[in-house]
Structure 1
Amino acid sequence: MVVCTAFAVTALGVEHSSVWGDAGRRGTAESLWGIAGWLAAVVACGAVVRVAIKRWAPNSNEILLGIVGLLMGIGWVFVARIDSLLASEQAVAVLLGLAVIAGTLVAGRHIDWFLSRPGACGLVAALLLAAGSFSGGANVSAGAYEAPRQWLNFGSLLSVQPYGLAKIVVVIAACGLTATAPRWLSDRLVPHRHAAGASAAAVGAWALLIIGGDLASSVIVFAAAWLPLWLDGDDLVGSDIPTVPRSTRARALHWVIATYVVGVGVVATVYDRLSAQIRYWLNPWIDAEGATVVDAAFAIGDGGLSGVGLGLGAPQHLHEPHSDFIFAVIAEELGILGAAALLVAFMLLVGVGAGIAQRARGTHRLVAAAVASVIGLQAFFAIAGVLRLLPHTVGALPFVAYGQLAMIGNCIAVGLLLAISNASNSPRGEPLHVPLGDP
């Protein structure tokens, strides 16, 4: 109801907008009403996924689907409002994402099969990183001072960015290596059960930074791999290697973070694009190349508290408004209140994921904590970059911004959370598969 109402109000707002002129206003409004069929397909697919969850994950936390469905729907409305030609592509991405959630619920029954093969998952992640390093289609630049993003085009309705899925695969491989490494490595090589998986994810993080030049994705993968080291309890969780006291883990984590920060600083001095991101973050007014963040600040300021209204903004003045700066478009048309509501939705999503991780067992706890961290950190970096709280890097808002493969990767994360939640909440007496790593 919220998404359909937002779409109708947006179409009506475009009809009364003075930005496009009379002819452009009528044409844009007619094009919005003409793509209402895609919205109907998205809503119908969401209902099918709801039935799939009741069938394959009846004990899961269904709040996840409500939050994700709201974010997907609002994101599609704004992408269609910004450029009606992208509405079909984004609708395909949403439909694929919802189908992936249902498919992950089925595959989630065999999640330990994937976790027991970290080498295969690592190979897939390496292939995705390699695919993102070579352009298979148009090279879409993210701005004058940002690293170019490589899009692989498959026909007119599918353009993918491999880095969006690589982050999830790297985290799954790291969690699997965490559970399996103690069985084939000596205690001297693996002093703690997280060391192997977190170290492997750190290698993936450095690859994202050096090969792809993607600072945000690198930090997300690195943090998602090392956060479970801090969040994990002091129980053995069935591991062959005893756990380390929290104070020792805290010291080790501080040293690892310090080393990573120093390494990022060194890389930033070598790569001009990374150093330019920091330079324009500190002072975007030094020349025209920092205008992307400045334009976003003006748009957010124009929105004020309650916004200018759906369909009444001017997203055409922003750079990549359908992806990198879609949060600025939302803040302009819905105001601070609408932007705050979006933040609350992401906070609820990450909070539900953290609750699922707290109730899970064994390696499932690490997977739930890691994928919830990936979603939360993606949203944090995307929004903080637009607000200039952090350097603006290549990063799109999960479930909201335009993009196919990033949508699929995040939907895989949601499907894993639903599958783990279903296993954790299974009633007594019902057969429950013992997670990998449990005795």
Structure 2
Amino acid sequence: MATVVSYTARPRRLTQALLLLLALATGLGAIALVSLGRTGELPSSFPLTAGMAAGIAVLLQVLVMIRAPYADPTILPLTLLLNLIGLAAISSYDTARILFNDKTSAYAGRQLIWTAVGVLACAAVLWLLRDHRILRRYTWVSAVAGALFLLLPLVPGLGRDVYGARIWISIAGYSFQPAEIAKILFAVFFAGYLVSRRDTLALAGPKVLGIHLPRWSDFGPIVVAWAFAVAILVFETDLGTSLMFFGLFVAMLYIATDRLSWMIIGAVMFLPPALYAVTQVSHVQKRLTCWLDPLASSNYEACFQINQGLFGMGAGGVVGAGLGEGRPSMVPFGQSDFIFSGIAEEMGMIGTFAVLLMYLLLVQRALRAAVGISDGFGTLLAGGLGFVIALQVFVVVGGVTRVMPLTGLTLPFLAAGGSSLVANWIIVGLLVRLSDAARRPSARRAGAGAPHGAGAPHGATASDAGAAAPQGVAA
């Protein structure tokens, strides 16, 4: 006998339209204030920026109404607002460089173009992917494609070394970071693999010192994931990307099995390569030194970037210097790696807390979709994608504020960079699709009122339907 909590799903498209309008007004207002604060007038490009942003909002609203009417109404407004705040911060960096350093800077213009490309990619996901469960058919294809993307920077003549890390490729003069696409492919692979092995990973295997260890037959893909993380660290000398991929796998293991032991096993497995990086990789050693004592006289030149970022955040105080009133150009890479310090300088502690709250809400909506969806694959995919965003925000903000060493990852939607922006908009498209599946009345009834196996989506196992039932349902 089943106890079912009654639930009437509503599309809530009007709510999304109002939130998109609010995000549009707030974001464009921030861009306008940056120019008014710096030069006292609106830039000549403002009508184009406003027109493109308005077109993006209309496109997203119409597309969701047609393809995903029951999607969470807050995901797209939060993303658009973060993207526009990022444009405002990059525009402030550009104008500061031009005024104070007498240099030409056009990062904001390029970021606007990449925003359009990212939104089109998001729209393509929503239009072409009618059912997220189709992705499960490509579990192993995603694994191979993700591995190939990770290996591209090692190809002679294609990969590029940038400040000690070989994570970029260059094609026809354009740079691209293939790991950004690889993280999506690996999230699909991990979800597809773990949903079919969750029971054996959670229950089978010996128990040592209170920790459930996996069987050797199930441990193989885990070792492969660990080996890829180590390979990225050794051959591409990038601790941040290595941490992101292995952290994604361990987090999805925890979601699939609900075993804290996997977090412990993951930490133990990642410790040796991390120690190797600290002792053998020069730029990782420098980052560790700057984390421990950036203001030491012997570290002044090596730690100049992080010191300038700390001074900028300190100058912002509680309420900030005001949009367009700071000097973010004093921080190297203030448009990308250290954009958070520029936001803190001009928007203050209140503004940075607001930005972090937006990230928190975005991740919370991803996890809400993971809880509400009726199949195990969707639960793992939504949880994994939400964790990727959360991990990147924690690692980047932690590095800038000296909570942890710098890693070289980018702040989603805010930092300048085409590959990161496009990949994160694709993630948002997937989250919108997953939230639509979670909130549809048919999906709710199938997940809530059926015993194991009944109402399971096509391509899902009987255990998928029962394990991913919404909260409040007792089977």
Bin for the TM-score computed over the shorter chain: 0.7 to 0.9
Q: Deviation of residue 179 (structure 1)?
A: 3.7
Query: Secondary structure of the equivalent of 2:319?
Result: coil
Q: Deviation of residue 76 (structure 1)?
A: 1.4
Q: Deviation of residue 391 (structure 1)?
A: 0.3
Percent identical: 25
Query: Secondary structure of the equivalent of 2:337?
Result: coil
Q: Deviation of residue 116 (structure 1)?
A: 2.3
Q: Deviations over 1:114-141 (max 9, x none)?
A: 3222232122212222223358689574
Matches within 5 A, 1:308-323: 308-323=321-336
Range with greater deviation from structure 2 (113-122 or 362-371):
113-122
CA distance in 2, matches of 1:435, 1:343: 38
The answer for the alignment partner of 2:240 in structure 1 is: 216
Is the 8 Å Cα contact of residues 152 and 159 (structure 2) preserved in structure 1?
A: no
Matches within 5 A, 1:159-198: 159-179=175-195, 191=215, 198=222
Question: TM-score normalised to the size of structure 2?
Answer: 0.78
Q: Deviation of residue 85 (structure 1)?
A: 1.2
The answer for the alignment partner of 2:132 in structure 1 is: 111
Range with greater deviation from structure 2 (158-167 or 418-427):
158-167
* 1:261 aligned residue (267, 271, 276): 271
Q: Deviation of residue 367 (structure 1)?
A: 0.5
The answer for the alignment partner of 2:419 in structure 1 is: 405
Question: TM-score normalised to the size of structure 1?
Answer: 0.84
* 2:281 aligned residue (240, 249, 271): 271
CA distance in 1, matches of 2:223, 2:115: 33
Query: Secondary structure of the equivalent of 2:303?
Result: helix
* 2:231 aligned residue (188, 191, 207): 207
Q: Deviation of residue 208 (structure 1)?
A: 2.8
Q: Deviation of residue 193 (structure 1)?
A: 11
Q: Deviations over 1:388-424 (max 9, x none)?
A: 1110121111011111111121122111111111112
Aligned: 1:345 with 2:358: yes
* 2:457 aligned residue (424, 434, 437): 434
Aligned residues: 405
CA distance in 2, matches of 1:265, 1:305: 37
Tell me which amino acid in the other structure corresponds to 1:368: A
Tell me which amino acid in the other structure corresponds to 2:93: I
Q: Deviation of residue 180 (structure 1)?
A: 5.3
Query: Secondary structure of the equivalent of 2:311?
Result: helix
CA distance in 1, matches of 2:362, 2:422: 17
CA distance in 1, matches of 2:227, 2:169: 23
Q: Deviation of residue 151 (structure 1)?
A: 4.8
Tell me which amino acid in the other structure corresponds to 2:72: N
Q: Note the residue ranges of structure 1 that are not aligned, 5 or more in a row.
A: 17-28, 234-245
Query: Secondary structure of the equivalent of 1:322?
Result: coil
Range with greater deviation from structure 2 (78-87 or 423-432):
423-432
Aligned: 1:54 with 2:70: no
Is the 8 Å Cα contact of residues 92 and 328 (structure 2) preserved in structure 1?
A: no
For residues 365 and 399 of structure 1, do their structure 2 counterparts lie closer, same or farther at Cα, with a shift above 3 Å needed? same
The answer for the alignment partner of 1:2 in structure 2 is: 26
Aligned: 1:284 with 2:294: yes
For residues 357 and 394 of structure 1, do their structure 2 counterparts lie closer, same or farther at Cα, with a shift above 3 Å needed? same
* 1:152 aligned residue (151, 163, 170): 170
Tell me which amino acid in the other structure corresponds to 1:173: F
Q: Deviation of residue 8 (structure 1)?
A: 1.2
CA distance in 1, matches of 2:276, 2:230: 12
Q: Deviation of residue 88 (structure 1)?
A: 2.4
Is the 8 Å Cα contact of residues 324 and 395 (structure 1) preserved in structure 2?
A: yes
The answer for the alignment partner of 1:393 in structure 2 is: 407
Q: Note the residue ranges of structure 2 that are not aligned, 5 or more in a row.
A: 1-24, 95-104, 206-212, 447-454, 463-475
CA distance in 1, matches of 2:238, 2:231: 9
